[in-house]
Structure 1
Amino acid sequence: MIIASLAGRVDGDVTGLAGTVTVNGGDMKLRATVSDTSIQYGPSLSFSSISLEKPGSFIVDFIPQDKDVRFQFMNTARVMDKPLNLTYTHSRGANKTVLDGSLVIDPANKVSLNHAVGSNNFRLKYNYLHKGNTTFEPTYDFSKNAWDLAVSQRVFGDDVVRASYQSSSKILGLEYRKMRSVNGSFKVSASVNLSEPSKFPKLSGESTLSFEM
């Protein structure tokens, strides 16, 4: 089975397109992503990545533009009978390794840790789901000694309104994601840098259509 998706976005004065084609072959998936980062001055299509994936096990990404290969391995362990999801990501070109771990305490509570190996970059996030509709996500960045906070609310069924604040950059964000009934979605977002005198909001929009071939 082949699944394709097409996404268009408007970010200020910049308009772009991106397309993804996924070929499912049993336990494996082959995915190619084509991007057009800006169509403002004419089309310039290029492959963003070519990926081979075994869901829940590994992903190998080839990024032609950077001539880079990224390896990602996933596994799950049990800690006090709770699932601990682990992800190891290594970018060969940047020589960067990132470890992610998330401990699912119960359906409403999850703790996640992100660490770039060889650096002091640690991010600790707590995820709390309240009554199945409201999600609170406080995050502490040890390298910046700063807190971030995001709050999401389900509305009109599966639609989501999300507000966020990054204390290190003083960026306040608001996002609305609409899940359409026919294989698609769209997202509208606004952000304000509170450290800038003008505090003029930056608006962007994105629409995605998915279909099977």
Structure 2
Amino acid sequence: MMKASCKGKFDVDKSGGGASLSFNAGNVKLRATLTDAIVLAGPSLNGLSLAVEKPGFFIVDYNVPKKDVRFQFMNTIRIADKPLNLTYIHSRGDNGTIVDGSLVIDRANKLSANYMLGTNNCKLKYTYIHKGIATFEPCYDLAKDSWDFAVSRRFYDSDTVKGTYQTSSKMLGLEWSWNSKSRGAFKVCASMNLAEKLKTPKLTAETTWNLEI
């Protein structure tokens, strides 16, 4: 069985869309994805990527126009009987490797780290889930020596409201999303840079439809 998804996006500057098609081939998944550039510019290879994925083990992405390959490997080890999920991402074009790890302490608490090897780009994040409906996520960026904060709350099992604030850029964001596994998703975002004299919010809307062929 093949699964397809179509995405439409609109903001004050431009509008666009995208599409992806995936199907299972044994224990791996094959996927083709088109980005916004495809829809806006008409039929073209710009923005086309092909992927092979074995869920929970690896993903290989090939960017057709850039002729670039990105490898992603996943693994899980246990520390003091707690699962530590590790992800290694390497892009041949950028010649950079990112290590991402998350330690699940319990159902409500998780520690995460994201580090680019050979640089000082490192982010540390703590996630706390309160009663399964509210999430608090402070994040510290070592390179910028700054904090980011995110707070979200789930309503009616499908609606989520999320607020974010980046102290380095003074960017304040608010997002409402509705998600259904069978029917797709819809999201509306508003963001504002508090450092600007003219504080005009930027609005975007995005919708996704899921299909089974």
Distance 2:60 2:104 in 1: 26
Q: Which residue of 2 aligns with 1:49?
A: 49
Q: Which residue of 1 aligns with 2:128?
A: 128
Q: Which residue of 1 aligns with 2:209?
A: 209
Q: Which residue of 2 aligns with 1:155?
A: 155
User: Which of structure 1's runs of 4+ aligned residues deviate more than 3 A?
Assistant: 44-47
Question: How far 1:38 sits from its partner (Å)?
Answer: 7.2
Task: Mark the runs of 5 or more structure 1 residues left unpaired by the alignment.
Answer: none
Task: Mark the runs of 5 or more structure 2 residues left unpaired by the alignment.
Answer: none
Secondary structure, counterpart of 2:65 in structure 1: helix
Question: How far 1:159 sits from its partner (Å)?
Answer: 0.8
Question: How far 1:11 sits from its partner (Å)?
Answer: 1.7
Q: Which residue of 2 aligns with 1:20?
A: 20
Contact 1:34 1:45 in 2 (8 A): no
Give the percent of matched residue pairs that are identical in Structure 1 and Structure 2.
52
Q: Which residue of 2 aligns with 1:99?
A: 99
Secondary structure, counterpart of 1:106 in structure 2: coil
Q: Which residue of 1 aligns with 2:60?
A: 60
Shifted more, 20-29 versus 128-137: the winner is 20-29
> Does 1:196 pair with 2:196?
yes
Q: Give 1:166's aligned amino acid.
A: Q
So what's the TM-score if we normalise by structure 1? 0.95
Q: Which residue of 1 aligns with 2:70?
A: 70
Question: How far 1:49 sits from its partner (Å)?
Answer: 1.1
Secondary structure, counterpart of 1:37 in structure 2: helix
Deviations 1:130-157 (A, max 9, x none): 0110000000000000000000100122
RMSD: 1.4
Deviations 1:77-108 (A, max 9, x none): 00000000000000000101000000000010
Question: How far 1:182 sits from its partner (Å)?
Answer: 4.6
Contact 2:122 2:143 in 1 (8 A): yes
Distance 1:187 1:50 in 2: 26
Question: How far 1:44 sits from its partner (Å)?
Answer: 4.8
Distance 2:161 2:5 in 1: 23
Deviations 1:185-207 (A, max 9, x none): 10000000111111100000000
Q: Which residue of 2 aligns with 1:31?
A: 31
Secondary structure, counterpart of 1:93 in structure 2: coil
Secondary structure, counterpart of 1:62 in structure 2: strand
Secondary structure, counterpart of 1:192 in structure 2: strand
Q: Give 2:48's aligned amino acid.
A: S
Q: Give 2:42's aligned amino acid.
A: P
> Does 1:169 pair with 2:154?
no
Q: Give 1:111's aligned amino acid.
A: L
So what's the TM-score if we normalise by structure 2? 0.95
